[in-house]
Amino acid sequence: MKARFRRLPAFSAEQFIAKLENLPLSPPLLAFYFAFLLSLRELFEQLFFETSFNIYRFNHHVFFFLPALLAGILGISWIGRIDIAKTARVVASGYVLIILPPLIDHFLFLRNQPYEYLLPREFAKNFLTLFLFTPKAGSGIFLEIVMIIVLASAYVFLRTRSVRRALWTAGFLYLLAGLLATPRLFLPLPSMTSPVVWQSRHVLYFCYDLVLSIIVGALFLWRVHPALPKSVFREIWSFRTLHFMVMAGAGLYSRKFFNVLAFPDVLGVFLTFTLMGLIWTATVLINNVYDLAIDRVANPGRPLVRQGIEPAFYLHLGLILAIVAAFVSLILGTIALAITIVSLASAIMYSVPPFRLRLRLFSNAFIAWGSVLGFYLGYFAAAPLMSPPVSGNTVRLSLVIFLALFFGSFSKDIKDYQGDLRCGIKTMVTVFGLPKGQRIISAFLFLALLMPLLIFHKTMDVIFMAATATGTSWLFYGKGKIGISFAGYILVFLYCLGRMFIL
């Protein structure tokens, strides 16, 4: 009797690619995976090629790869007309190649010096000779680029059956690698012969790579959903964003650590405000997902309600920005990293089940708490771990910020009343009713605008604060418009700002 054999099903390259494109990897998980591999790559470089670990070099090199990664995925997706999420999953499946160059160069080619950027005058010659004859980029990097180009071009060809698109993909990726390896071709970098610039080069390159990442990231979001970049911009273009930037700026001013017009201090100022923006944007996007039911009633003009964007886009982007914020905070020091983690954890506890402290009465304390964290983020930006104790005036100022924002932020409950009532959110107006709640909030607003008297208490200060607090709370009680509380806030803030410069 002849033995019978079952024929195994054919498994084509197209089927394999389809499996890769549909890997069950969420965008935040992909972001964490990419961040892990990039961190591992830099750790290998510092282990094999450097004499000691440097956190500035680490962040600089990790963010060097970020715009390259985003632009590479974007280019492959666009040239091949492939869904960008599927492209990202395929790239992720082969991205382990990124860690190979330091291993190849160290163990196979016995390299012991760090990789270097090319100078503009070296670009043309090395670009035409495939970067084979320069010691600045190791043989491992050459092999890495070749493997990436071959695999990406093969992917585009198998998806499109177009040799032309495959060649366009190869050319785009090679040009991208060459440009990124020669940053002075397109970045207005100062002369590296200056000792101050040379010592700050890693932070300087990091800032440029961060800006590039934001620009390319906006294009990436547009590819994901055409309305997404505009919607995110509208979410963060608000008075609340300005408020948190002011809190970080107040912290910077209180410490007087930076000379904002001098190099390299200006880089620290830029990074502090950028980090504050990343933390706040992540917070807003995550919060708006879980407040969607409220906003459909109370804030129908918000982009997530109007544009019909999937809430998952907001949630995933918020989590990805939280990861980016953690990396950015590393370059500002251990204290900045700790404040960033606490800020993000507080935002999650405020918005996300099962905590969802947004539902509780006095949840406004988290708004005040977030403002204090923003203040101390600016205060401790680039400060050493064992920095001098916080002065009594600084503690007093942060207490005023907390109390003023705690009492003052109740005014937003009027605007969200209908949405909060439908969704079971406990606020002063949903618990005590609209008339009584409005009276309580007006009294709180009065107290909030008097809080600066804990710092400024001359006769003119008392007269101005009392008059502003009385007028603002009276108008708010009569009209119940949140814009009135904002106006009172701005008046008192400008007055305090003037007093700070007069003192």
Tens-place pLDDT, residues 146-200: 999 999 999 999 999 999 999 999 999 999 999 988 988 887 777 777 788 888 8
**Residue 285 resides in a domain:** yes
Look-up of token digits 């591992």: 40
**Residue 218 resides in a domain:** no
Q: What is the pLDDT of residue 19?
A: 92
Residue 339 and residue 421 in one domain: no
Q: What is the pLDDT of residue 69?
A: 96
**Residue 209 resides in a domain:** no
Report how far residue 83's alpha carbon sits from residue 74's, in angstroms, rounded to the nearest whole number.
10
- Please name which of 153, 148, 156 lies closest in space to residue 180, comparing C-alpha atoms: 148
331: Cβ–Cβ under 8 A, 6 or more apart, which residues? 55, 56, 59, 203, 206, 271
**Residue 411 resides in a domain:** yes
Structure-block tokens of residue 50: 């450097």
Report how far residue 464's alpha carbon sits from residue 496's, in angstroms, rounded to the nearest whole number.
11
Residue 383 and residue 407 in one domain: no
Structure-block tokens of residue 430: 């949903």
**Residue 302 resides in a domain:** yes
Count, residues in the chain: 503
Report how far residue 457's alpha carbon sits from residue 345's, in angstroms, rounded to the nearest whole number.
36
Structure-block tokens of residue 264: 């390299």
Residue 231 and residue 346 in one domain: yes
Q: What is the pLDDT of residue 441?
A: 93
Report how far residue 402's alpha carbon sits from residue 393's, in angstroms, rounded to the nearest whole number.
14
What backbone phi and psi angles, to 5 degrees, belong to 157?
-65, -45
Residue 176 and residue 151 in one domain: yes
In this structure, the number of other CB atoms found within 10 A of the CB of residue 156 comes to: 27
**Residue 77 resides in a domain:** yes
Q: What is the pLDDT of residue 261?
A: 61
Q: What is the pLDDT of residue 257?
A: 59
Domain boundary among the residues 324, 355, 388 is at: 388
Q: What would the DSSP string read from start to end of 411-478?
A: GHHHHTHHHHHHHT---HHHHH-HHHHHHHHHHHHHHHHHGGGGT--SHHHHHHHHHHHHHHHHHHHH
Residue 136 and residue 237 in one domain: no
Residue 438 and residue 297 in one domain: no
Domain span at residue 51 reads 24-187
- Please name which of 319, 322, 327, 332 lies closest in space to residue 377, comparing C-alpha atoms: 332
Domain boundary among the residues 356, 388, 420 is at: 388
Say if residues 396 and 433 touch (Cβ distance below 8 Å): no
Look-up of token digits 């195994």: 8
Q: What is the pLDDT of residue 390?
A: 79
Residue 174 and residue 290 in one domain: no
Residue 422 and residue 371 in one domain: no
**Residue 503 resides in a domain:** yes
Counting the structural domains of the chain, the total is: 3
Please confirm whether the linkage preceding 28 is cis (ω < 30° from 0): no
Q: What is the pLDDT of residue 133?
A: 77
Q: What is the pLDDT of residue 240?
A: 86
pLDDT tens digit string along 204-255? Answer: 999 999 999 999 999 999 999 999 999 999 888 888 899 999 999 989 888 7
Instruction: Report residues of the chain scoring pLDDT below 70.
Output: 1-11, 256-261, 382-389, 502-503
Structure-block tokens of residue 441: 């909030």
Residue 159 and residue 278 in one domain: no
**Residue 354 resides in a domain:** yes
Residue 55 and residue 82 in one domain: yes
pTM of this structure: 0.90
Report how far residue 435's alpha carbon sits from residue 432's, in angstroms, rounded to the nearest whole number.
8
Residue 356 and residue 376 in one domain: yes
Residue 379 and residue 439 in one domain: no
Report how far residue 365's alpha carbon sits from residue 377's, in angstroms, rounded to the nearest whole number.
18
Domain boundary among the residues 131, 165, 187 is at: 187
Q: What is the pLDDT of residue 129?
A: 81
